[in-house]
Chains A and B, each alone.
Chain A
Amino acid sequence: MTDGDCGKCERLLQGYLDRELTTYEVAEAEEHLNGCDYCRRRYRFEESLRVYVRTTAVERMPPGLMEKLAQLRTTDPGPASV
Chain B
Amino acid sequence: MGEPDTAEPNGARRVASEARDRVRFEEEALALADQVYRVARRFVSTREEAEDLVQDTYARAFRSWQSYTPGTNLRAWLLRILTNLNVDRGRRIQRRPDETPLEETDYYLANKMAETAGEQVLDQDRVVERLSQDSIVNALADIPHDFRDVVVLVDIGDFSYADAAQILDIPMGTVMSRLHRGRRLLKARLAEEAVQ
**A and B: partners?**
yes
Residues of chain A at the chain B interface (Cβ within 8 Å):
10-11, 13-14, 18, 20, 38, 41-42, 44-46, 48-50, 52-54, 56-62, 65-66, 68-70, 72-76
Residue of A nearest to B65 (CB): A74
In the bound complex, residues from chain A placing their C-beta under 8 Å from that of B136 are 52-53, 56-57
What CA separation (Å) do A21 and B142 show in the bound complex?
29
In the bound complex, residues from chain A placing their C-beta under 8 Å from that of B176 are 20
Q: How many residues on chain B are close to A (CB under 8 Å)?
A: 49
SS of B interface (majority): helix
Residue of B nearest to A41 (CB): B122
Residues of chain B at the chain A interface (Cβ within 8 Å):
19, 22-23, 26, 30, 33-34, 37-38, 41-42, 47, 51, 54-55, 58-59, 62-63, 105-107, 109-111, 113-114, 119, 122-123, 125, 127-128, 131, 133, 136-137, 140, 152, 154-156, 161, 176, 179-180, 183, 186-187
Question: In the complex, are the beta carbons of B133 and A54 less than 8 A apart?
Answer: no
Residue from B19, B59, B186 within 8 A of A72 (CB atoms): B59
In the bound complex, residues from chain A placing their C-beta under 8 Å from that of B140 are 53, 57
In the bound complex, residues from chain B placing their C-beta under 8 Å from that of A59 are 37-38, 41, 47
What CA separation (Å) do A61 and B33 show in the bound complex?
8
Question: In the complex, are the beta carbons of A53 and B41 less than 8 A apart?
Answer: no
Residue of A nearest to B51 (CB): A65
What CA separation (Å) do A61 and B131 show in the bound complex?
24
In the bound complex, residues from chain B placing their C-beta under 8 Å from that of A42 are 106-107, 110-111, 122
Question: In the complex, are the beta carbons of A73 and B62 less than 8 A apart?
Answer: yes
In the bound complex, residues from chain A placing their C-beta under 8 Å from that of B107 are 10, 13, 42
Residue from A18, A44, A52 within 8 A of B131 (CB atoms): A52
In the bound complex, residues from chain B placing their C-beta under 8 Å from that of A68 are 51, 55
Q: Which of A42, A54, A69 has the most CB of B within 10 A?
A: A69
In the bound complex, residues from chain A placing their C-beta under 8 Å from that of B110 are 41-42, 45-46
B78 → A minimal CB distance (Å): 11
B84 → A minimal CB distance (Å): 17
A18 → B minimal CB distance (Å): 8
Question: In the complex, are the beta carbons of A45 and B59 less than 8 A apart?
Answer: no
